[in-house]
Structure 1
Amino acid sequence: MLKNKKFWISIAIVMIVIFIFSLYNAFNGNPISKFLAKKALDSYVEETYPEKEFNISEGFYNFKFGEYTFNLLEIGNWNEDTESIQEYEFTVRGTFFPEVYWDGLYYDNLDERLMERLSKEASEEIFDELIQQNKDIIHVGVSLEVLKGRYNDDVNWKKELELDRPISLYIVIDAENKGKDDIYMDGIGIQKQLKEKGYHYDNVNINANIMTEEGKKLHDYGYVKYALAFEQNSSIKKSDVNKVSN
Structure 2
Amino acid sequence: MKKGFNFKKFFVGLGVFCTLILLFFYIAFFGNPISRLMAEKSATKYIETHYKDLDLIRDRAYYNFKNGYYIVRLRDKNSEDTKFYLGFDSFGKLKQDTYDDILFNTEIRLSDELREYGSKLQENYNFPYEISLTTLNDDIEEKLTLDQKFDFNNFKEDLNAQAFGYVKKPSLEDCFDALCDLQKIMDKTSLKVTKYSIILVPEENKKPDGEAESWAGSISVSDVPQEVLRNKDIKEFKNIYEKSISETKD
Please, what TM-score do these two structures have when normalized by structure 1? 0.43
Q: Identify, as 1 or 2, the structure richer in helix.
A: 2
Q: Identify, as 1 or 2, the structure richer in strand.
A: 1
